[in-house]
Amino acid sequence: MRVLRAGAATAAGAVLAIGLAACSSGGDDGDASGDASGDSGSSGGNTLTVWAWDPAFNIYSMEEAEKVYQEENPDFVLDIQEVTWEDLQTKLTTLAQSQEFDQLPDIFLMQNNAFQKNVINYPDLFSDLTDSGVSFSDFPEGVTGYSTVDGANYGVPFDAGTAINAMRTDILEEAGYTLDDFTDVTWDEYITMGEDILDKTGYPMLSGIAGEPDTILMMLQSAGQSLFDDEGNPTITDNAALETSIDLYSEMVEKGIYLEVNSWDEYIATLVNGQVASTINGVWISGSLQTAEDQAGLWGVTNLPSVDGVDGATHYSANGGSSWAISSNADYELAADFLASTFAGSTELYDTILPSAGAVANWIPAGDSDVYQEPQDFYGGQAIYADVIEFGAGVPTNNTGAYYYEARDAVGVAITQIMGGTDAATALGEAQSTVEFAMS
pLDDT digits (tens, 9 = 90+) for 341-353: 999 999 999 999 9
Identify the pLDDT of residue 289. Answer: 93
Q: Is the pLDDT of residue 45 over 80?
A: no
Alpha-carbon separation of residue 332 from 131, 279, 283, 329 (angstroms):
11, 40, 31, 8
Express each pLDDT in 19-41 by its tens digit: 322 232 223 333 333 333 344 55
Give backbone dihedrals phi and psi of 439, rounded to 5 degrees, phi first: -85, -15
Give CA–CA dist 139/392, Å, rounded. 13
Express each pLDDT in 54-103 by its tens digit: 898 899 999 999 999 999 999 999 999 999 998 999 999 999 999 999 99
Identify the pLDDT of residue 33. Answer: 32
Identify the pLDDT of residue 120. Answer: 86
Confidence of residue 394 (pLDDT cuts 50, 70, 90): confident
Give CA–CA dist 147/154, Å, rounded. 5
Give the pTM: 0.74
- Considering the chain, what percentage of its residues have pLDDT values greater than 70? 89
Q: What angle do CA 286, 289, 291 make, to 5 degrees?
A: 115
User: Mean pLDDT, to the nearest integer, of 37-56?
Assistant: 76
Give CA–CA dist 420/415, Å, rounded. 8
